[in-house]
Amino acid sequence: MSPNSHGKVPLTVIGGFLGAGKSSYLNGLIHRGIPEQSLIIVNDFGDINIDVELIEYHNDRMLQLSNGCICCTLGGTLAERLAKAMRLHSRPRAIFIETSGIADPARIVDIAKVSARLELAEVVCLVDGGQIMRYQADRFIEETWCAQLHAATRILVNRLPCGEEERLIQRLRDINPTARIENMDRQGAGLMSSRSAAVDTRPRYRIPVAAGGWKSVSLSMHSPIDAKRLQDLLLGFRDVLLRAKGFLHRQDCSSRYLFQLSGERVNWQPASGKSGSCRLVCIGRSGERFDRLVTELQDLARSERPH
């Protein structure tokens, strides 16, 4: 993938809900090989951009956009960054944008469309198959989630529960009857459902511009943390907490860890070789319960502080 015969630069938008696997997918693309001089733009919803640390692209052509959701508050910034990149002496040969987990990729597609120098390559939507039923049953999440699926030209599903593949894929197909749907868990035979020739009668989804109702907090966690206590606390707030991630020290090990909570799954991964501050980012629905979670996390961080 590199500038086409009209000199336009291909743009790939990588979207999907919180924790769906966007960064992991982008890392896979990078490992398999993307054109040299590709520009990667990573947006995180929150004041610190953990995702930038997760992307294994050791190149100065990586931009981070933090402190807001790319599709609304950062629309202008993104357009400016793209315009600036296209004016560079050595223009990027391809552009990849990883959106925040609550972004509507359609808005980014709109920005790309107004540039005569960009060409939309594809809009990928990652889906955590284990969360499909939960998201569909939750009015707060459903609108965002459906808009993301709806904007996609390709849907990549992972973590599909055994025996439920067909039923869940059909749910996705109902929302977006034209996108190609692939099961990432099945190596080789990934294609579940290809683009159909059916007339697109999909209802139009659009995420409210203000992305209201979402909240992201980032907490300093300087002292080594009791991993079980932290996990139990976070899992106890699963009704309002949609995603948690950060770099932390554990009491039972000496190294720094990348901590991730997505769906009901908790993952600790040694972040060896990486130094830096220890912070935890929590993203969820704003309200009293989310504030309560933040207070309890602050208490936990304080109680872990060495005397």
Ligand X SMILES: Nc1nc2c(ncn2[C@@H]2O[C@H](COP(=O)(O)OP(=O)(O)OP(=O)(O)O)[C@@H](O)[C@H]2O)c(=O)[nH]1
User: What residues from 269 to 288 belong to the interface with ligand X (CB under 6 A)?
Assistant: none
Say whether 287 sits in a helix, a strand or coil: coil
Closer to ligand X at the Cβ: 51 or 205? 51
Q: Whole-number minimum distance, CB 32 to ligand X, in Å?
A: 15
Q: Whole-number minimum distance, CB 180 to ligand X, in Å?
A: 17
Residue with tokens 């969820």: 284
**239 DSSP assignment:** T
User: What residues from 5 to 64 belong to the interface with ligand X (CB under 6 A)?
Assistant: 16, 18-24, 51, 54
Closer to ligand X at the Cβ: 59 or 267? 267
DSSP-based helix, strand, coil % in the chain, nearest 5:
30, 25, 40
Picking from 209, 211, 305, 225, the residue whose alpha carbon sits closest to that of residue 268 is: 225
Closer to ligand X at the Cβ: 9 or 68? 68
Closer to ligand X at the Cβ: 54 or 146? 54
Say whether 17 sits in a helix, a strand or coil: coil
User: What residues from 60 to 119 belong to the interface with ligand X (CB under 6 A)?
Assistant: 101
| Residue 168, both tokens | 């869940």
Closer to ligand X at the Cβ: 100 or 153? 100
- Give the number of other CB atoms < 10 A from CB of residue 139: 7
Closer to ligand X at the Cβ: 38 or 260? 260
Judge residue 84's burial from the number of C-beta atoms within 10 Å of its C-beta, 0-12 exposed, 13-18 middle, 19 or more buried: exposed
Closer to ligand X at the Cβ: 9 or 96? 96
Is the Cβ–Cβ distance between 142 and 150 less than 8 Å? no
User: Which residues partner with 214 through β-bridges?
Assistant: 285
Q: Whole-number minimum distance, CB 155 to ligand X, in Å?
A: 13
Residues touching ligand X: how many (CB under 6 A)?
Answer: 20
Q: How far is CA 88 from the centre of its chain?
A: 28
Q: Whole-number minimum distance, CB 154 to ligand X, in Å?
A: 15
Is the Cβ–Cβ distance between 217 and 278 less than 8 Å? no
DSSP secondary structure letters along 166-193: HHHHHHHHHH-SSSEEEETTSSS--EEE
Is the Cβ–Cβ distance between 13 and 110 less than 8 Å? no
Q: Whole-number minimum distance, CB 296 to ligand X, in Å?
A: 21
User: What residues from 122 to 151 belong to the interface with ligand X (CB under 6 A)?
Assistant: 126
Closer to ligand X at the Cβ: 159 or 222? 159
Q: Whole-number minimum distance, CB 53 to ligand X, in Å?
A: 11
User: What residues from 231 to 270 belong to the interface with ligand X (CB under 6 A)?
Assistant: 243, 245, 260, 262, 267
Q: Whole-number minimum distance, CB 261 to ligand X, in Å?
A: 8
Instruction: Let me know how long the chain is.
Output: 307
User: What residues from 149 to 208 belong to the interface with ligand X (CB under 6 A)?
Assistant: 158-159, 184
- Give the number of other CB atoms < 10 A from CB of residue 168: 21
Q: Whole-number minimum distance, CB 245 to ligand X, in Å?
A: 6
Question: Under the criterion CB under 6 A, does residue 215 sit at the interface with ligand X?
Answer: no
Binding site for ligand X (CB under 6 A): 16, 18-24, 51, 54, 101, 126, 158-159, 184, 243, 245, 260, 262, 267
